[in-house]
Amino acid sequence: MWFRYQKFKKVYLGIIFVFVFVSCSEKHKSDLDLRNENKELNSKLKSAKEKENIYKDSLMVIKEELMRFNNNNKTSEASNRNYLYGIPTAPPYKYINLKITDQITDGCSLSQTNTISYIINVTKKDLDYIIIIQNKDGVRSDCYISTKCMSNSDRSWLPSILIPGNKILLKTQSCGSGGFEYAMNLRSLRR
């Protein structure tokens, strides 16, 4: 009996040992699974935080660009207003196209581009005119109009186009070392 008891004890202890071992290994296995899940979740959280930082940085860059764009628009609006500052109000529009001369005077060179300008002031000196114009950048300059080569009909239209505040397209020639501007063609533009 004692032998059976010992055998039963061994079997009983073996069953308990197997049960404990199996339950411990399952617990260890579940702990490993939890640890692996925890590592995966931590790595996902870390990558999400990195992406969040990247998005925050991108968002900051976009905000800075937007602010820079808004500031540029404000300054361009201000500069548009400034270059119109001091220009008289526009007279009623009349389409006038005057040819003053076709000939380039000795010592002069034809300007490469036509200038869009506003007439600020007009001074008549004998038969010629001196006009103060302001270009689109707000720079003022003098332009001379010599009427000796003009036809009488074109000369009669000069007082209609040379009104302060008129917007004109001006073709000029630059003369002398000072670059004095002489008008070759004038055309009124709608303002």
Nearest to 134 by CA among 148, 153, 147, 121: 121
Domain shared by 118 and 150, yes or no: yes
The pLDDT score that the predictor gives to residue 118 is 93
Residues near 101 by Cβ (< 8 Å), separated by ≥ 6?
A: 146, 149, 150, 184
Domain end call among 83, 118, 133? 83
**144 to each of 47, 181, 185, how far by Cα in Å?**
72, 6, 12
Residues, the chain, total?
A: 191
Q: In the chain, which ranges are continuous DSSP H helix? A: 2-83, 152-161
H or E segment and range at residue 124: strand 115-125
The pLDDT score that the predictor gives to residue 9 is 59
Domain end call among 83, 111, 139? 83
pLDDT per residue as tens digits for the range 88-108: 888 899 999 999 988 888 888
What gap in Å lies between CA 78 and CA 72, rounded to an integer?
A: 10
Domain shared by 179 and 115, yes or no: yes
Residue 172 lies in a domain: yes
Give bridge partners of residue 181 from the DSSP assignment: 143, 174
Domain shared by 70 and 124, yes or no: no
* Triad 58, 61, 64: Cα angle to 5°: 150
Domain count along the chain: 2
By DSSP bridging, strand 97-99 and strand 180-189 are antiparallel
Domain shared by 68 and 147, yes or no: no
Distance of CA 114 to the CA centre of its chain: 26
Percent of the chain with pLDDT over 90: 28
Q: Residue 179: which domain range?
A: 97-189
| φ, ψ dihedrals at 114, nearest 5° | -80, 145
Domain end call among 57, 83, 109? 83
Unique residue bearing structure tokens 């300054």: 75
Give the CATH number for residue 116.
2.40.50.140
Residue 92 lies in a domain: no
The pTM of this model reads 0.56
Residue 2 lies in a domain: yes
- Where is pLDDT greater, at 86 or 21? 86
